[in-house]
Amino acid sequence: MKIVTIIPLQKGVFKTDLTYFTAKDIENGSIVSVPIRNKKILGLVISCEDLSNAKSGIKGMPFKLKKINEVKKYSIFKNEFLESALSISSYFISKKNSGVISFVPAIFREKYDQIVKFSNIEFLKDRLVNPNIKTEKLLLQASLEDRISYYKTLIRGYFALKKSVFIILPTEYDIEIFEQALSKGIENFTFTMHGSLKPKKILENYERIINSTHGVLILGTTQFLSVPREDLGAIIVEHESSNVYKMIPKPHFDMRTFAELYAAKINVKFILADTLLRFETIARKETENLGEVYPMSFRTNFNRVSINIINPNQEDEPSSQNEKINSQFKIFADKSIEDIENTIKSKKNVFVFSLRKGLATYTICKDCNETINCDECMAPLVLYLSRDGKKRMFVCNKCNTEKDPETKCPICESWNLMPLGIGTDTVYEELKEKFPKVKIFKLDKEIAKTASGANKIIKEFEETPGSILVGTEMAFYYLKNKVDLSVIASFDGLWTIPNYKMSEKIIQLLLSMLSLTERKLIIHTKNKNDSALLAVKGENLLPFVREELEDRKNLNYPPYKRFIKITYLGDKEGSIEAKRLLAELFKEYAPDIFGGFMAKNKNQYVTNALIKLEPKKWSLSLLSIGSTIDQRLFDLLSSLPFSYEVSVDPEDLL
């Protein structure tokens, strides 16, 4: 009799591994079918031992062991892939099954038996990896056109060697762009794989990929690395700076880290690529001696797109103090309105970017300076215009609570409330007033709840010459064609976001705007000497990047330190106890303990603890020589109650 420990391959509250018995000798890494809660689920075998060796542990179990229903003939997943998923779970302090579930598409688990039938068993044999050969890791920072050109050459070279290439892309939109650019002449060997495909199409592509004796090009999201091609020669993470790669919900996995680990496990070439890589990735060239495909470019020459930086409220200096006092706030400069008008007359399109949804991103009381917040969750209320344009209302973007626009200040009960910030509705209304006969579209998460809804808006906009699109960053993922003129309505609002990576994110946003623009980009700001703007306008980002990295080094920020953030949400008494517990439990790691950006949330307080480590004390050894996971810290973090949330490599600190 054998005692088998498995990891359940299903979402759910599985705090520990599950234990079953069988008469068969089952190898680690096997896939089995097991009974749980009156149904059958798939499980990954992580250990199998004789009953005699496990008797003492069996006697102490508070439940009766169940028998394994079925041992699958073989696993459709490569051992290296499963090992990578388990390792990444440890790195991000999560349950063992979280990694496998996060990196294997649900359809592969749901249709497992169907996939087994058309998989080529011989082709799934594990490759022999020489542990003495170090994985080649390269950086590719160049224009999109140059990257596409390089990939075409790379793919032809690997096809000649009878090998395959996997290019990981963050979104369905990115996959479509790269398919159009790379598939010409190799259509029969190019496959796209992403979650928006219909299940039937995913299974059809899987069957063709797995059984093709010719090398293939796979363009897909990270989860589809689980397709077990034995002949992979290179894994490329494209648009590496995209925030889509970092999972927002727990356990906050970073898909880029997983892809790099898997590439190291199977020892294939690994490339991180973008127009501008993340600053921490750029720093790895020096800290980890990463190679370059060719010298990294920091130039921002987007076919000579003109960049105009304008303060809409200081186009002409007021001739007197009275004129200065009486001058009204303007969303758009007069020159910008004139440029928009000329573009529309030429039957060309305009894109206007606004950071936030709504009319005003927050509202304050002019009598006591109190911010008007949601009664339910304490997030700032946003002033919106109703869809029919007939009334205004306060809406909480966090919990969707609505509040009457005639509300009073909760502190002093004053009616003297002042909306602040420029949202998409404000921009839309201003443009509607200036251009009443022009078709104006709006795209944000309030207007388009689904991808199909967003695509519909973009399609109509691009098919309507002389129209205007007002949108948030969401528009970047759906615009397929360049616009003649782009406008950033309120650049200064970007700096109000509390994020230590904000300067980097602003540069990325400006580059995204330039990539979508054919002729001119207008930026409205009060600070014409902003260092990020001057760097982009000067067409050389290298000095800016160097200065930013030097600041991070002096402040002990990533990539020079590893950040691990612990967050607790509770009432006032619980928050006091959390601060005491975190200070005592992690005292040897000298945590910084502080409150969150919001003082409270649903009558609960946010408490954060930030631990800063030398990167090699919390890194996977396969990714960085001489690195390890601090076992003492791992045990402490793993022991925290469920009410504490742990985030490794957090995107922000508040």
Span 82-97, pLDDT tens digits: 999 999 999 999 988 8
Rounded to the nearest 10 degrees, what angle do helices 144-160 and 172-182 cross at? 60
- Name the residue with higher pLDDT: 389 or 275: 275
What percentage of the chain reaches a pLDDT higher than 90? 54
pLDDT of residue 360 exceeding 90 = no
Mean pLDDT (whole number) for 605-632: 91
Superfamily (CATH H level) for 306-357+424-539: P-loop containing nucleotide triphosphate hydrolases (3.40.50.300)
pLDDT in tens, 128-150: 555 556 789 999 999 999 999 99
The per-residue DSSP string of 31-92 comes to: EEEEEETTEEEEEEEEEEEEHHHHHHHHHT-SS--EE--EE-SS-SS-HHHHHHHHHHHHHT
Q: In whole angstroms, give the CA distance from residue 523 to residue 307.
A: 8
Cis amide prior to 8 (ω within 30 degrees): no
So what's the pLDDT on residue 320?
46
Q: How far apart are the first and last CA of the chain?
A: 52
Q: Which of 260-264, 418-422, 584-588, 602-606 shows the lowest mean pLDDT across its residues?
A: 418-422
Structural domain spans, the chain: 1-72, 118-292, 306-357+424-539, 362-420, 562-648
Going by C-alpha positions, the residue among 499, 508, 643 that lies closest to residue 566 is 643
> Does the 118-292 domain belong in CATH 3.40.50.720?
no
Q: In this predicted model, what pLDDT tens digit does every residue of 285-320 receive, in sequence order?
A: 998 889 999 999 998 876 679 999 998 877 554 444
pLDDT of residue 327: 47
pLDDT of 110 strictly over 60: yes
Query: Is residue 280's pLDDT more than 70?
Result: yes
Ordered DSSP codes for 615-641: GGGBS-TTTSTT--B-HHHHHHHHTS-
pLDDT number for residue 364: 67
Let me know: does 56 contact 3? Beta carbons within 8 Å: no
Question: pLDDT tens for residues 28-47?
Answer: 888 999 998 788 889 999 88
Confidence tier at 648 by pLDDT (50, 70, 90):
very high
Arithmetic mean of pLDDT over the chain: 86
Q: d(Cα 36, Cα 66) in Å, to the nearest integer?
A: 9
Q: How confident is the model at residue 359 (pLDDT cuts 50, 70, 90)?
A: low
Please determine, for residue 113, whether its predicted confidence score (pLDDT) is greater than 60: yes
Give the domain 562-648 fold: Alpha-Beta Plaits (3.30.70)
Instruction: State residue 125's pLDDT score.
Output: 52
Higher-confidence residue: 373 or 349?
Answer: 349
pLDDT in tens, 519-575: 999 999 888 888 899 999 988 999 999 999 999 999 999 999 999 999 998 888 899
CA 11 to chain centre: 21
Between these two residues, 63 and 486, which has the higher pLDDT value? 486
Instruction: Check whether 460 has a pLDDT greater than 90.
Output: yes
**Is pLDDT larger for residue 5 or for residue 563?**
563
Q: Rounded CA gap, 461 and 349, in Å?
A: 8
Of residues 191 and 100, more confidence is placed in 191
**Same-fold call for 118-292 versus 562-648:** no
pLDDT at 319: 46
Model pTM?
0.85
- Report pLDDT digits (tens) over 228-250: 998 999 999 999 999 999 998 88
Burial track 410-425 (b if 16+ CB lie within 10 A, e otherwise) = eeeeeeebebebbbbb
